[in-house]
Amino acid sequence: MRDSYNRVIDYLRISVTDLCNLRCRYCMPSAGAKQMERSKVLSFEEIVRLAREFVALGIKKVRITGGEPLLRPGIVNLIESITKIDGLEDLALTTNGLLLKEYGAKLKEAGLSRVNVSLDTLDPVKYRYITRGGNLNRVLAGLEEAQRVGLTPVKLNIVLMKDFNEDEIEDFVNLTKEKEIDVRFIELMPIGEMIAWSYPRLVSNRLVLDKVKGLERVASKDKSSPAVYYKLPQGKGKVGLINPLSCKFCQNCNRVRLTADAKMKLCLHSNQMIDLRKTLRSGGDLRSKILASIYEKPLEHDLEGGGFSKRDMFQIGG
């Protein structure tokens, strides 16, 4: 598939639930959030049907997201079904890691390639604060299990926040010395209800290069990757910088998102959403709907001009 700017769209992120077992301060209101109507959430059969249609149109890579995808009952069966789709080359999953110890081996056996784990601090007290009650030890146990069963390279997604985890940059980078772990620092993005909370904590990822000396730039094999990668000399893992604010990477964007209620988002930061659920459940022409919508993908996001998504990240597939 190609959009109107001749970008090849071959990466689909599928959210399977808006539910989460954490309440991260930059993602979700303290009281939680109103859940989607369960009748609107796609069944596994519907997810697999949509995945097949997307792959038939040229999608090569799928990532399963949430909320927290491991909360969805039967998630291992869904993974197994998606891996059987002819033409799909890569299937990964993003998780907060709390249930990874329990599910790691099952996910690998079902055909999952690897996992990304969201982890913003290695300090258990700070972790409880930012997640409003999370248990860091469970996440660390999940990381060990992912490495043990071969869901590698494990990628850690770290949202860099002013006056919170700037002092842990070196600690995260040091994880790449002896382990097959890629740590990726992500600039805090103002999205949904947490826009006001985010702005005072914004900090550029350039701070990583200022703090860690000796990082060597690594050429990327995937020009569509949002991360610019570096490496410590003799390090087993890599250090990635994802800079949606200070350095746009929209010109190489190859992805679209599907929310748990089957709204296709052409850009993470746009409020434009195409309803595929109605077409799916009415027996309409899904492929024509998808192709026509892909052509409307915007050239770039407009965060600088206030073009924020009104949905929170857990409702989008973050």
- Tokens for 56, please give them: 């038939």
Quickly state the pLDDT bin for 313 (edges 50, 70, 90). Answer: low
* CA dihedral over 78, 40, 26, 257, signed as positive or negative: positive
Q: What average pLDDT does range 15-24 have in this prediction? A: 94
Per-residue pLDDT band at 305 (split at 50, 70, 90): very low
pTM exceeding the 0.85 threshold for the entire prediction: yes
Percent of the chain, pLDDT > 90? 75
Is the pLDDT confidence value at 315 over 60?
no
Helix axis angle, 136-149 to 100-110, nearest 10°: 20
Q: pLDDT confidence of 225, banded at 50, 70, 90?
A: confident
> Which CA distances in Å does 171 have to 91, 183, 229, 234, 264?
29, 10, 17, 17, 37
pLDDT of residue 192: 63
pLDDT of residue 62 exceeding 50: yes
Instruction: Give 100-114 pLDDT, tens digit per residue.
Output: 999 999 999 999 999
